Amino acid sequence: MTPGASVYARPAALAGRHFSTVIVGAGVNGAGVFRDLSLQGVDCLIVDKADIAAGASSAPSRMIHGGLRYLESGAFSLVAEATRERNLLLRNAAHLVRPLETVVPLSSRFGGLVGSVLRFAGFSASPGARGLCVVGLGLRLYDRLGRRQRVMPEHRIARVPAADGALFGAAVRWTATYYDAWIRHPEWLVLELIHDGHRDQPASAAANYCSVTACQGRSVTLRDELTGESVRVTADTVVNATGAWLDRSASALQGAGSRVMGTKGSHLILDHPALRDALRGRMAYFEASDGRVCIVYPFLDRVLVGSTDIPVDDPDQAATEPAEVDYLLDVLREVFPRLDFGPGDVVYTYVGVRPLAQSGADKPGQISRDHAVAIDPPNGAREVPLVCLVGGKWTTFRSLAQAAADAVLRQLGRPRARSTESLAIGGGADMPADAPARERFVDGIAQASGLGRARVAELVNRYGSRAQALAARFAAEGDAPLRHAPDHSAAEVRFLCRETAVQHLADLVIRRTLLAIRGRVTAALAAELAAIAAAELGWSAARREQELQACIDTLRDRHRVQFSASIPSPITL
């Protein structure tokens, strides 16, 4: 982010303003619409009842992928779209999205063939464990669908090497290898989309912890979830981008309901060096004995395991249940029989609710991951059109946002001026194209800023090309490392608090940094971060202690983080 007028505002500062579009829901889809419309010169307001990207957008598998398994149900257009969007993200957000080599262990030659044929023909059938023929055919088609703007090598199938035989067990006879991608910090990309939108249209604004309670005439009522204050703005169009909350939001927005259903996906983060080393930088993509597809891959210095697929009625109450943890650990024992796994390996859990279109499918895995844009015309109470984003997946957020933005532009009677297809996101702009150029880029920043090379390399990993300006800013403030997380600095934390709309300590710990998901948050680190945030945001001592306790409780209760020490209070920096 750069100095200047902030995109973020509290509702009180928005009272009485008019916006061409009000977007409800600041996840990746809503942020994508915000950026797209702002690029066209449309003044937008985006709001969310919680933090930016606090819902499903902060809880994906962190894969950017085409959806190999969707081929079996004949969803060719979805897979073609998703592989294309994957390739675009590898180019447009190269600071956060990286290629991911993926290995599929195979134990039989013809396994799952009959079931796959039946599913492809539209019948409900369990395919069984898929074998060499089914997977090989699927990967050939996957390569073909992803051929446009190809940035990935083609798949290969080989007899299982000795190292993989030791990893997967004696039953595995072949491995299929192909490439998808992963995203380091999805929440940060959402923030960058909002920042880019404000850069392109300074009249656009954003407010987190701001809910919409009514839409009457052309007036939209906003409630500040921090103060309880309500204000009104006016709009020409409204966009409902609330994902799994779409139908719940429809009542306040005077729109139609019964469009979405939710399934939750729980993930585990493991501290398991033996598994991480054995994976050798690759993702293992496999079927459990019950037919559910699971993934395991190295995530920074940890291992990410996912995921479950369980229908839920209330997305606000979704949580990772102990039975889900046990299930995923059992799957790991099944697939990696020579390694030991236990609850003590789990350092973090998280859950997101997928916003899927209403379906009568027998199993959650059979529900389409496709998306659509629906328009509720003005009615007796609401005088503005309501554009609704239905379904979708993380990888295809840009194409869904484009379709929604086009629908809004039609309602406004305005033409599209530019496409987002080739537009870099945030720190992805001007990123070096290859490893040697990246090394020179890091060296140049280190020399200009005076910061150590390792520190600069980490800033480039986090912020891409924007590390150049940030390194200079942090160096000017001394860039003193945190006591309990020395790869971060107090200057960096102050920047995050100051310019990314941090309202609660949990926003900083869980979404603005990767400290929580990496299992690195101790009571001492939480207290250190609380002290810096309190000084930067003007919290009283009582507010600081309240935020610290609330953050600890959230990490313990919702993410299964274990704290071995009492919370130090107060802390002196």
Query: Does 43 share its domain with 163?
Result: no
Structure tokens at 398: 């840009």
Q: In whole angstroms, what is the distance from residue 118 CA to residue 417 CA?
A: 46
Look at 123-127, 203-207, 385-389 and tell me which has the smallest mean pLDDT: 123-127
Query: Does 458 share its domain with 442?
Result: yes
Q: Is the pLDDT of residue 121 over 50?
A: no
Residue 457 within a domain: yes
pLDDT at residue number 569: 53
Query: Does 341 share its domain with 287?
Result: yes
Query: Does 340 share its domain with 401?
Result: no
Domain end call among 308, 327, 356: 356
Q: In whole angstroms, what is the distance from residue 16 CA to residue 94 CA?
A: 40
Query: Does 313 share its domain with 460?
Result: no
| pLDDT tens figures, 421-462 | 999 999 999 999 889 999 999 999 999 999 999 999 999 999
Tell me the CATH number at 26. 3.50.50.60
Residue 92 within a domain: no
Query: Does 169 share its domain with 279?
Result: yes
Residue 63 within a domain: no
CB pairs under 8 A, 24+ apart, for 437-440? none
Tell me the CATH number at 173. 3.30.9.10
Query: Does 450 share its domain with 545?
Result: yes
Query: Does 211 share its domain with 245?
Result: yes
Q: Is the pLDDT of residue 124 over 70?
A: no
- Domain membership of residue 337 as a residue range: 98-181+262-356
Residue 79 within a domain: no
Structure tokens at 412: 């406004």
Q: In whole angstroms, what is the distance from residue 129 CA to residue 89 CA?
A: 32
Residue 84 within a domain: no
Query: Does 465 share its domain with 500?
Result: yes
Number of domains in the chain: 3
Residue 93 within a domain: no
Residue 2 within a domain: no
Residue 564 within a domain: no
Rounded to 5 degrees, φ, ψ at 322 are -55, -35
Query: Does 269 share its domain with 324?
Result: yes
pTM for this predicted structure: 0.93
Asked if residue 214 lies in contact with residue 221, where contact means CB atoms within 8 angstroms, the answer is yes
Max Cα distance, the chain (Å): 69
Query: Does 457 share its domain with 540?
Result: yes
Categorize the per-residue pLDDT at 571 as very low, low, confident or very high, splitting at 50, 70 and 90.
Answer: very low
Query: Does 462 share its domain with 473?
Result: yes
